[in-house]
Amino acid sequence: MSLRKKEERRFILVFLAPAFLLFTGLVFLPAIRALLYSLQKWDGLGTPEWVGLRNFARLLRDDDIFLVALGHNLILFAIAGGCTIALALFFASILSQKIRGASIFRVAFFFPNVIALVAVALLWILLYSTTNFGVINAMLAQVQGAAAAAGLPFPEIDLPFPFLQSRYLISSIIPMIVWSATGFYMVLFLAAIGGIPQSYYEAARLEGASHFQQFIHITLPLLREILVVAAVFMIITLMKFFDPIWVMENEVPNRDSHVLATLLYQKVFTEYDMGYASAVAVLLFLIVLAASAFSLTWSRKERIEY
Amino acid sequence: MDKVRTILAYTVLIGWLLAVVLPMVWVLVNSLRSSKEFVQNPFGMPWLVTGVPADGLLELSEIEAARARASAGEDAGLALERLDQLARDFAKLDSENNGALEAGVVYGDPAETLSGEEVAAVERAAGRSLAISAAISNYRKAWVESNFSRFFFNSLWVTGWSLFGTLALASMAAYVLARFEFRGNRWLFLFFISGMMIPAQLLLIPVFFEFSWLSDVGTRFLEPFGLRFQLYDSHFGLILLYIALSLPFTILVLSGFFKSLPGALREAAIMDGCGEYRTFWHVMLPLAKPGLITAAIFNFLGIWNEYIFALVFVNTPEKKTLPLGLASVSIQAQYKTDFGLMFAGLVIVVVPTLLVYVLLQRQLTQGITTGAIKG
């Protein structure tokens, strides 16, 4: 072992240690701890008691609130996530065509993504309000009036519609998510479309393919991988979804409006049921893990090289 | 055909542009209007623009002073009976609000309360512009009375130190992982990256108890020196947590940058007699600057807007960060129908992120782009 090697080894140790210690102490070990908590019955004060998988049995069998909350997460993922990705793809395909002002649209569309979700939620509380300043209800009333005057069919709903009531909250949050997240995914897709060689499109144009055909046969297949990345990212974000529900429900969500994260929070800080809450967290982790693993293997298999 | 397509494309794009931008403009405009103006007409322009006052923001003391001058026969800008009426309006309103008026707001239909000339007279008497005070009072209420100044500096403090710590620790670790050969290197890298898979909720409970345990142990050691060691409900604990949570992503980004630097650089610097530390500091870090900036922007946005960890690990109102403060103040403001305060609070929270975004949007987009192409 030369002196130089010794010095190098010490340098490696010194540079890795702080990050390693902090990450191990505050992320890795607590994650292991959470797995242990999920196998225990504990109120946070007394001595924990081993119960094996009973917490998981409880949350899957005893009451269905866990499944209801999980269902809400999945609804958000399917509808809000689906709409966001579809819209982002649509905007990205338009903006990649070198139209005038593309950069202005790109910058503006991304902007809602940088606003704190808490602030977004408060903004939408105002937009959804049932009083005279509820912008969305006012617009609906206008549309309803115009439709009635023109004799066009319009769903018979009583306005103002109580968007912020617990039982409609999950549906009401969908447009909010689309509003705030679309810009991010659009930038992601724009980058990927920018990486597709222009010659492909030129060849397709020579063959007489329409814009739509080009999109279906060139853009979409080549974007498969990034679409999978986007879907995984969406699952990770929407499984953790917490802030807007918490703020809109004034810190007391109920059966109608719970998602996994709010349920977990309530179990810990109002019911002191650490085991149940940890079991929720562990299942949440497993869902994210499974989704990512599945998508990674799937996209590897289907990889297109160009 | 192509023309139709272009028109359609622009229609959709401009529609979404309006959907994105208008709500924010709406917030900004209404943060400059009194709550009453807002409730009367949610889509009006601020009085600053129209010059039509909704409610004269007069302090009762100002009305009293003007009345004293008027009864002494001096020119007080308004007639005595008018001043009497204003004082009565004010007292009535004050009693309706349980004496909790921040500024004397003279209610009534805007057109009825004060005429244009009267406004001018009152402004002369009060020695200040009512329009300005209507706009400023929301911000004053938010910044001073609702403690937003405190929240703002808490956020700045916590975010600043978290960013500094994250970039320091992550760049050191990423540099070693990317440029040095040693056993277990690959595994260690994967170990760090695996942290990106862990949802925050999994950590809430164990870290909560870990913090209280560590605080007990730390305090026992430090007590003889008269020091208290606190991690729960302290900015220090929150900062440590934010650093730990930001490490995986930041190490991933930075190691990509360090990997892309030419290998001969380090050899050359070492040959020239720089030590490993100096090489890192003077050669490698400056070259990795784009990566550092990208990581800094993403982490800034993430930490500045973070809610759930702050909610769990901060208890004392004076220690709250901006998102927490905004949430609690807004809930109260809605009950009091003080929308002006709520809008001002929203602006205070959004403006810093907006500034960072506008100034650095190119690097931010590039960061996503390189991530997308490489990842």
- What is the residue-wise DSSP string for B139-157? HHIIIIIT-HHHHHHHHHH
Query: Does residue A185 contact residue A84 with C-beta atoms inside 8 Å?
Result: yes
Q: How far is CA B164 from the centre of its chain?
A: 18
The reported pLDDT for the residue numbered B115 is 63
- Among chain A residues, the shortest Cα distance to B335 is held by A250
**Three-state secondary-structure class, residue B109:** coil
Whole-prediction pTM: 0.88
A19/B350 CB distance under 8 A: no
Q: d(Cα A38, Cα A280) in Å, to the nearest integer? A: 8
Least confident of B97-101, B121-125, B362-366: B97-101
First to last CA, chain B: 38
β-pair type (B56-57, A49-50): unpaired
Q: Between A16, A116, A229, which is nearest B176 by CB?
A: A16
User: What DSSP state is assigned to residue B183?
Assistant: T
Query: Does residue B343 contact residue B238 with C-beta atoms inside 8 Å?
Result: no
Average pLDDT over every residue of B189-209: 91
β-pair type (B105-106, A49-50): unpaired
Least confident of B112-126, B228-242, B331-345: B112-126
A250/B176 CB distance under 8 A: no
Residue (of B178, B280, B295) closest to B243 by Cα position? B295
- Residues 6 or more apart whose CB falls under 8 angstroms from that of B342 comprise A122, A126, B329, B330, B333, B334
B346/A122 CB distance under 8 A: yes
Structure tokens at B270: 């070492």
Structure tokens at A111: 């902007």
Residues in chain A within 8 Å Cβ distance of B16: 91, 105, 109, 182
Q: Is A44 left (phi over 0), alpha (psi -120 to 50) or beta?
A: left
Per the model's pLDDT, the better-predicted residue between A81 and B71 turns out to be A81
Average pLDDT over every residue of B109-136: 61
Distance from the Cα of B26 to chain A's closest Cα (Å) equals 10
Distance from the Cα of A266 to chain B's closest Cα (Å) equals 11
Structure tokens at A137: 């209800």
Q: d(Cα B169, Cα B249) in Å, to the nearest integer? A: 12
Q: What is the pLDDT of residues B172-186, one digit of tens each?
A: 999 999 999 899 999
A91/B16 CB distance under 8 A: yes
Distances (CA, A) of B176 to B188, B279, B313: 11, 12, 32
- Among chain B residues, the shortest Cα distance to A277 is held by B205
Exposure on the CB side of residue B18, measured as CA atoms within 13 A: 5
A195/B373 CB distance under 8 A: yes
The reported pLDDT for the residue numbered A101 is 87
Q: Between A26, A187, A211, which is nearest B241 by CB?
A: A26
User: What DSSP state is assigned to residue B279?
Assistant: I
The reported pLDDT for the residue numbered A238 is 94
The reported pLDDT for the residue numbered A113 is 94
* Longest pairwise C-alpha distance within chain B: 94
- Residues 6 or more apart whose CB falls under 8 angstroms from that of A250 comprise B331
User: What DSSP state is assigned to residue B283?
Assistant: I
User: pLDDT confidence of B98, banded at 50, 70, 90?
Assistant: low
The reported pLDDT for the residue numbered B348 is 95
A111/B188 CB distance under 8 A: no
Q: d(Cα A82, Cα B189) in Å, to the nearest integer? A: 33
Q: What is the pLDDT of residues B310-352, one digit of tens each?
A: 999 999 999 999 999 999 999 888 887 788 899 999 999 999 9
Exposure on the CB side of residue A79, measured as CA atoms within 13 A: 13
- Residues 6 or more apart whose CB falls under 8 angstroms from that of A102 comprise A95
Least confident of B14-28, B55-69, B151-165: B55-69
Q: What angle do CA A154, A126, B48 make, to 5 degrees?
A: 115
B9/A264 CB distance under 8 A: no
Residues in chain B within 8 Å Cβ distance of A29: 206, 210
Structure tokens at A140: 């609906």
Distance from the Cα of B169 to chain A's closest Cα (Å) equals 5
Ranges of residues in chain A whose predicted pLDDT is under 50: none
User: pLDDT confidence of B110, banded at 50, 70, 90?
Assistant: very low
Q: Between A111, A135, A191, which is nearest B368 by CB?
A: A191
The reported pLDDT for the residue numbered B225 is 85
**Three-state secondary-structure class, residue B228:** coil
Exposure on the CB side of residue A92, measured as CA atoms within 13 A: 28
Query: Does residue A187 contact residue A112 with C-beta atoms inside 8 Å?
Result: no
The reported pLDDT for the residue numbered B375 is 46
Residues in chain B within 8 Å Cβ distance of A1: none
Least confident of A262-266, B108-112, B116-120: B108-112
A105/B356 CB distance under 8 A: no
Distance from the Cα of A302 to chain B's closest Cα (Å) equals 16
B247/A27 CB distance under 8 A: yes
Residues in chain B within 8 Å Cβ distance of A22: 169, 240, 243-244, 247
- Among chain A residues, the shortest Cα distance to B372 is held by A188
Residue (of A225, A295, A276) closest to A56 by Cα position? A276
Per the model's pLDDT, the better-predicted residue between B59 and B31 turns out to be B31
User: To the nearest whole number, what is the mean pLDDT of chain B?
Assistant: 83
User: pLDDT confidence of B305, banded at 50, 70, 90?
Assistant: very high
Residue in this structure with the two tokens 């306005």, named with its chain if needed: A159
3-state secondary structure chain A: CCHHHHHHHHHHHHHHHHHHHHHHHHHHHHHHHHHHHCCEECCCCCCCEECCCHHHHHHHHHCCHHHHHHHHHHHHHHHHHHHHHHHHHHHHHHHCCCCCCHHHHHHHHHHHHHCCHHHHHHHHHHHCCCCCCCHHHHHHHHHHHHHHHHCCCCCCCCCCCCCCCHHHHHHHHHHHHHHHHHHHHHHHHHHHHHCCCHHHHHHHHHCCCCHHHHHHHHHHHHCHHHHHHHHHHHHHHHHCCCHHHHHHCCCCCCCCCCCHHHHHHHHHHCCCCHHHHHHHHHHHHHHHHHHHHHHHHHHHHCCCCC
Q: What is the pLDDT of residues A108-141, one digit of tens each?
A: 999 999 999 999 999 999 999 888 788 898 888 8
The reported pLDDT for the residue numbered B328 is 92
- Residues 6 or more apart whose CB falls under 8 angstroms from that of B68 comprise none
Average pLDDT over every residue of B51-67: 61
Residue (of A105, A90, A95, A96) closest to A201 by Cα position? A96
Which candidate in A42, A115, A240 is best for mutational testing of the B interface (most B CBs within 10 A)?
A115
Residue in this structure with the two tokens 């622009």, named with its chain if needed: B10
Per the model's pLDDT, the better-predicted residue between A281 and B372 turns out to be A281
